[in-house]
Amino acid sequence: MPTITIRNLSDYVIDALKIRAQRHGKSMEREVKEIQEERVLDRELLLQKIEAKWGSIKRPSNPDEIEKWINSARGRWA
């Protein structure tokens, strides 16, 4: 399985991740992995919904417009 390294995280983020992981009874690594998996899956689900909606529209999609949709939906998915 591939490994990634995230450099230059602030001490605040590291401390918050440690607290969150402890609260959930997990290692910090496991907590970060689950956060990332959740965000990727949420984004993929949102993209599927957008594509389904846009399927009924007769014009080609615009990447900037899709990104705007995604950003506006983030608040409703958080």
From 17, 20, 78, select the one nearest 46 (Cα to Cα): 78
Residue 5 lies inside a defined structural domain of this protein: no
2, part of any domain: no
Task: Tell me how many domains the chain contains.
Answer: 1
Query: Can you give the residue range of the structural domain that contains 65?
Result: 11-77
Is 4 part of any domain?
no
**Does residue 1 lie within any of the structural domains?**
no
Alpha-carbon span 42 to 39, nearest angstrom: 5
pLDDT, tens only, 26-47? 999 999 999 988 887 877 788 8
Question: What confidence tens digit (pLDDT) does each residue in 57-75 have?
Answer: 666 667 787 778 777 776 6
